[in-house]
Amino acid sequence: MNQTNQAWGSRIGLILAMAGNAVGFGNFLRFPVQAIQNGGGAFIIPYLVSFLILGLPLLFIEWSIGRYGGSRGFHSTPLMMQSMDRRRMWKYVGVFGLFCNIGIASYYCYLESWTLAYIFHSATGTFNGMNQHQVVQLFSDYVSIGKTTLIPFEPIVFFLICLGINVYILSKGLSGGVEKVAKIGMPLLILFGIILAIRAVTLKSGVDGAVYDSSVGLNFLWTPHFDSIYNPKVWFAAASQIFFTLSLGMGSIHAYSSYLKRKDDIALNAMSAGWMNEFVEVVLGGAIIIPIAVGYLGIDRVKELAAMGGLGLGFKTIPYLFSQWGHVIGAVAGVMWFGLLFFAGITSSLAMGTPVQGFLEDEFKWSRRKTALAFGGIILILGLPTILFFNQGVFDEYDYWTGSFALFVFAAFEAVLFAWFFGIKKGWEEINTGADIRVSRIFRFLIMWVTPVLLIIVFLGAVFTPVGNDWAAAFHGLFQGQGWIFDHGSVVGKLMNSGLKEQLASATDPGLIADIKYRILLTNLSRLLLVALFVGISLIVRKAYYKHKREGTI
């Protein structure tokens, strides 16, 4: 069995690290946008239902698989999952637990580096005196490598700094690095969140340039449109949000819990970390960006900005709005906002490094320092294309395949493995072993039937999403003999590059045509790179598996 000298320092440290793993940019930028686009206040109903029937059961499953695998000496998902059932496919399913973390970290570290850069710009007063267009332009210049902002090659400089910080912390080990950062970062994140939320909900029209009271924004966010509950699209959005916010289907929760001994609790830990994430998302995430943005820009403009996603609001709009509060308060608010996002980001990216380190340590007996450097090297190589070709969609391509598609595939498989192959009897015993709370038997039923089936449905929904996400019209059209038209965002649509091909077909300008063709080329190349990554990890895992077979340790 693989021995590790890694351990958690304290239970609180583990829970904060797990909550930090879950809390990310999405808590502050994605959740409020999803809510306003999917029924306002009524969104909380499908959202919380999804948390109870999808989120919590999956948290129990992932914590259990992790502790089970860890007790057999495995600290990453490939051999962890293989140890649960004799069928040889599971180690390849488990590869997703390394692939997702590497793939996501490759673009996530870049995103994280934006927050560092924006802390720097907020503190140095870059946004002072800028109008909204100039703030938007600064962001566009930042992500376009050729254009200089303040520092030459600024995005690469901040990416390298950010990656260096991650590697340094990871090299310090679990209790000496990851846990210490979580113990500092999470309380600071919550403190910054509370301060900004208080400022946001006390916004008054006519003060500091605000046009509307905060109540207008809160009304916009929370007014329930109950008819939306009957729309499957809203339920799909809620389930997806729960999935992303809890960092499910990645393999990082498994890695963290693999350092627990079998007699120690996972049930209460999972509940505590999961609900802490919900607190940050609903209570803090729902109280900052929308009230502030609506207070200054009005509902119609915020609707337009939200349609382009939460990142636009967070990086292109908020710095300008903070600058309306005066130089000092604006700078402090900017540092807090981007500091909060930085802590949300780094506690997640560290969780992405841990399974990779666990695998390298288990299989190659590498030191923590060496595994951290290896992780940094891989992320540097895979992350550079997302920086250099950001405007050509490479970043989005990584995000789609590793940060969405692969997560659903992995989660569906792990739920099926746990409930149907490992067996619900053993699985239930695993969840309850050492438990400090009594887990309701309803979860046994949910884990057995509801969660796997729901995940398979959600996955199929992502593969076959009809145009406009309008399922009723799609089925109607199908029965009328008009066929099934895939949405550009569906897995099938993505694979066929249907969105880009449509743009190409309608383009007349030669420059634009060449640009779209270049985008298609880079999109296909980035997919090839990701496939090569998956195959490469699979080959290493295969070798490791046969080594364990020979040694009789699996």
Q: Which whole-number Å values give the CA distances from 349 to 102, 164, 250, 259, 310, in the listed order?
A: 10, 12, 12, 18, 19
Cβ atoms of residues 529 and 66 within 8 Å: no
Q: Which residues pair with 40 in a beta bridge?
A: 224
Q: What is the dihedral of CA 40, 45, 49, 55, to 10 degrees?
A: 30
What is the pattern of x (binds another protein, CB under 8 A) and - over residues 9-38?
xxxxxxx-----------------------
What is the pattern of x (binds another protein, CB under 8 A) and - over residues 140-179?
-----------------------------------x----
Among residues 263, 425, 438, 550, which is the contact residue for another protein, using CB under 8 A? 263
CB-nearer residue toward another protein: 260 or 448: 260
Cβ atoms of residues 28 and 288 within 8 Å: yes
Site size toward another protein, by CB under 8 A: 42
CB 95 → another protein: shortest distance, Å?
Answer: 27
- At 309, the amino acid letter reads G
Among residues 131, 202, 275, 517, which is the contact residue for another protein, using CB under 8 A? 275
Cβ atoms of residues 498 and 440 within 8 Å: no
C-alpha span between 518 and 498 (Å, rounded): 15
CB 187 → another protein: shortest distance, Å?
Answer: 12
Q: Does 41 bind another protein (CB under 8 A)?
A: yes
CB 217 → another protein: shortest distance, Å?
Answer: 10
Say whether 40 sits in a helix, a strand or coil: strand
Q: Does 63 bind another protein (CB under 8 A)?
A: no
10 Å Cβ neighbour count for 261? Answer: 10
What is the pattern of x (binds another protein, CB under 8 A) and - over residues 276-305?
x-xx--xx--x-------------------
Which of 100, 102, 62 is closest to 81 using CA atoms? 62
CB 157 → another protein: shortest distance, Å?
Answer: 37
Among residues 53, 246, 260, 344, which is the contact residue for another protein, using CB under 8 A? 260
Q: Does 436 bind another protein (CB under 8 A)?
A: yes
CB-nearer residue toward another protein: 21 or 386: 21
CB 158 → another protein: shortest distance, Å?
Answer: 33
Using the contact rule CB under 8 A, the part of the chain among 5-13, 230-238, 449-457, 511-519 near another protein is 5-13
Using the contact rule CB under 8 A, the part of the chain among 3-11, 350-358, 473-481, 501-509 near another protein is 3-11
Residues 487-526 that bind another protein (CB under 8 A): none
Take residue 169 and report the two structure tokens written for it: 């912390």
CB 120 → another protein: shortest distance, Å?
Answer: 33
C-alpha span between 547 and 136 (Å, rounded): 54
C-alpha span between 294 and 83 (Å, rounded): 52
Residues 376-435 that bind another protein (CB under 8 A): 434
C-alpha span between 53 and 58 (Å, rounded): 9
Among residues 29, 33, 242, 271, which is the contact residue for another protein, using CB under 8 A? 271
CB 139 → another protein: shortest distance, Å?
Answer: 31
Question: What is the residue-wise DSSP string for 189-210?
Answer: HHHHHHHHHHHHHT--TTSTT-
Q: Which whole-number Å values give the CA distances from 503 to 276, 465, 493, 515, in the listed order?
A: 43, 20, 13, 11
What is the pattern of x (binds another protein, CB under 8 A) and - over residues 198-237?
-----------------x--xx-xxxx-------------
C-alpha span between 36 and 161 (Å, rounded): 35
C-alpha span between 15 and 347 (Å, rounded): 12
Question: Which residues would be at the binding site for another protein (CB under 8 A)?
Answer: 7-15, 40-42, 44, 48, 175, 215, 218-219, 221-224, 259-261, 263-265, 268-269, 271-272, 275-276, 278-279, 282-283, 286, 434, 436-437
